[in-house]
Amino acid sequence: MSKFEKKEIIAQSVWDLLVEQDFKAPSIREITRRSGFGIGTIYDYFGRVQELLLFVVLRQQEQVIDAAKSIIEAHSPDQTADKLICAIVDLIFVEMSKLNVSFFKFVDDVALRGGNSPRVFLRPMDKLVNPLLEARLRDHTGTFLTLEAKEIRLLLQSMGAMIRFPILVGDSYFASEEHRALVQSATLRLFIKAPDAAAASKQV
């Protein structure tokens, strides 16, 4: 069995424990019992439990980002950009609805206890920069704002911050339909030309 396969088994074991325990960090003994690997192997691969927990959380996030990347790559150049942005936001909120508030509080706790900034959870969105740039370049509708890679990265991180902000400040509308609508509306304004500007660009 490869190191990658062992790490995946350990990570999945930790995720299963987190779900069962309402996102309370499992002990190292619980992890070894569930995964079947000894303490030495776990510390050899992850250094400490906090690093393992961070790996597990980022692994879950990567799965959502990969799904968003597939949506972008499949986006037709003849479809308007607002459809793409709405599809990405809807995907993220569908995935969020599968979890609970305890998970997101746990995520912030993992970052802070590990000496990381919560911004560590915005970095995976960088994987969407090039696919979005390519979608803009192949667009036939004239509805994308003209954005460069650095601008797209900043705007994606802004979207990520809008998604996370209510949980950080304790607002009750986190992950609600109201929250989704707010993030969608704000993200559209970040990426999409105003209707009159889009119509004018198509005529040029």
pLDDT at res. 203: 46
pTM over 0.85: no
**Is it the case that residue 162 has pLDDT exceeding 70?**
yes
Q: How far apart are CA 170 and CA 156, in angstroms?
A: 22
Q: Is there a contact between 128 and 191 (Cβ–Cβ < 8 Å)?
A: no
**Is it the case that residue 200 has pLDDT exceeding 80?**
no
Backbone dihedral angles phi then psi of residue 60, each to the nearest 5 degrees: -65, -40
% of the chain with per-residue pLDDT over 70:
92
| Mean local confidence (pLDDT), 37-51 | 91
Let me know if 13 is exposed, middle or buried by CB neighbors in 10 A (0-12, 13-18, 19+).
buried
Q: Is 32 left (phi over 0), alpha (psi -120 to 50) or beta?
A: alpha
Q: Model confidence at 204, in pLDDT bands (50, 70, 90)?
A: very low
pLDDT at res. 81: 97
Give DSSP secondary structure letters for 43-108: HHHHSSHHHHHHHHHHHHHHHHHHHHHHHHHT--TTS-HHHHHHHHHHHHHHHHHTS-HHHHHHHH
- Tell me the one-letter amino acid at 193: K
